[in-house]
Amino acid sequence: MSFAVSSLFAKEDKMLTINSPRLRTPNLLQNTQSITSTYEKLASGKRINSAKDDAAGLQISHRLTTQIAVKQQTLRNLQDGISYGQVADAGLSELTDSLQRMRTLALQAANGSNTDIDREALNEEFSQLRDHINSVVANTEIFGKKPLMSKPEQETNLDNVPVLNEVFSNNVQQGMRSGDVSLGLIPAGSTNVRIQINDNGANDDLNLFTQTGEHLVGQDLSSVQSRIEANLFTPANGYQGTETYSNGNLFTGGGFNFPAVNSQTINGMNFTYSGNGNPSSGSSNEEIFIDNVTEPLLLTVIGSGMFRITASWDSLGSLNSSSAESSDGPMMVTSTDQAVGEDGYIIFEDIDASAGSLTIDGITISSEDLAQNAIARIDTALSRIGGFRAEIGAKMNAIESTMRNQSNQSSMLSSANQRIEDTDFAKVMAEKVSLDIVQKASVSVAMQARDITKNGILSLLGQLE
């Protein structure tokens, strides 16, 4: 009996060993983890859901995601630039319409069939349109910026110098003393300004300067530069006190010519100047004529004597002819991801489209001569407005081109990121099916192994009976 039982256990032990689940059943835990990972990929749509899925791929994906977000923000910034350009162009379009109507009225007033009463009636509408231009400039605004207003480049002490009509009566001669002092201010927007002096043989010289110390008309003063910078370039004379004498654009008259006929255009202004009247030229007279003043000019008569002076003008601008407000500088639109330096921006430069800047401030059509002068001024203004619109249009085209490039880059980066990060559903579904089959087979094998073991033990116990 003992031998028989031992033989049966040996036989059954051999059977159990051969059918052991550890040898016949796959690793159920590992298979379950794989199935969990597969479901996670299918649920999220992402191949990489954590660093363990693909550490290097996750790092690359994060870098691409950052680049995509930056590209999208750049596109939004560029859209803002388009909006800015559209608002500025709309304002300039309105100015063009007003100037064209003013041009028509001026031409009508220049016709000989009109009486002075007719011209006064025409001038009423003309003046309203001129004022409307400043209103449009002041009220054109977007993003807190005023596209048609120029930012003052520097503080000014021009208020310390009296305007020409505060010192002189129009076309009335008076006596004054020469020296290193600003006698009067000729504001931007002034028209047909004429200054004449007779120095009584003292060789006093007419001179015109900008508020930055640029010597535009007169005789070269470089030999007394230190004296000019110390005595003339002071806040009391309309300067900052830090200017350096500059004669790079100086017009000396091209030889003595009185009455003045020699002319030169500087900074958009046409100067007619007699040159230096002195004893050697046989004349004590000098004169300067400016048809259109585009920036404030400071009048000085350099010398040490007494002279007689006559100042005349058709109209004088004012220091505040544009508006008390201004823009806060150019509109800088980011065009690259870095936004560093000028290459990182498309820049809408400041535009000053005020009546004073366009040199139409103060013009009237109340007489035939004034109407003819107004026509020339308006033609110049229309040309400048056309230039402004062309510049804005070019910047908008540049922005649109940049937008296309940025959009293409964003699309390519998104595609690259998707290939790295997104789930390949066909592949993952195939893996899921395979894992499901393996899992079912594993469960089936495990069940069979359990049944075999159970049946083997029962059979053994039956034999023992």
Q: In whole angstroms, how large is the CA radius of gyration of the chain? A: 44
pTM more than 0.85: no
Burial of 71: CB neighbours in 10 Å, binned 0-12, 13-18, 19+: buried
The 3-class secondary structure across 416-452, one letter per residue, is HHHHHHECCHHHHHHHHHHHHHHHHHHHHHHHHHHHH
Q: In terms of pLDDT, which residue wins out, 289 or 438? A: 289
Tokens in use for 361? 């401030």
How many CA within 13 A on the CB side of residue 289?
12
- Between the CA of residue 374 and those of 359, 401, 421, 424, what are the distances in Å? 10, 40, 69, 74
**Cα 294 from Cα 203, distance rounded (Å):** 29
Q: In terms of pLDDT, which residue wins out, 207 or 329? A: 207
Examine the pLDDT at 456 and tell me if it is beyond 70: no
Task: Place 13 in a pLDDT band, splitting at 50, 70 and 90.
Answer: very low
**Cα 11 from Cα 408, distance rounded (Å):** 75
Q: What are the residue boundaries of the structural domains of the chain, listed by start?
A: 2-45+423-464, 65-150+322-413, 158-312
Examine the pLDDT at 9 and tell me if it is beyond 50: no
46-55, 76-85, 287-296, 305-314: the lowest-pLDDT one: 46-55
Mention every residue, 6+ apart, whose C-beta is less than 8 A from residue 200.
284, 305, 306, 307, 308
pLDDT (0 to 100) of residue 18: 40
**Cα 136 from Cα 133, distance rounded (Å):** 5
Q: In the CATH scheme, what architecture does the domain 158-312 have?
A: Sandwich (2.60)
Tokens in use for 177? 């003393």
Q: In the CATH scheme, what architecture does the domain 65-150+322-413 have?
A: Up-down Bundle (1.20)
* Per-residue pLDDT tens over the stretch 398-446: 999 999 998 898 889 888 877 887 666 667 677 667 766 766 766 676 6
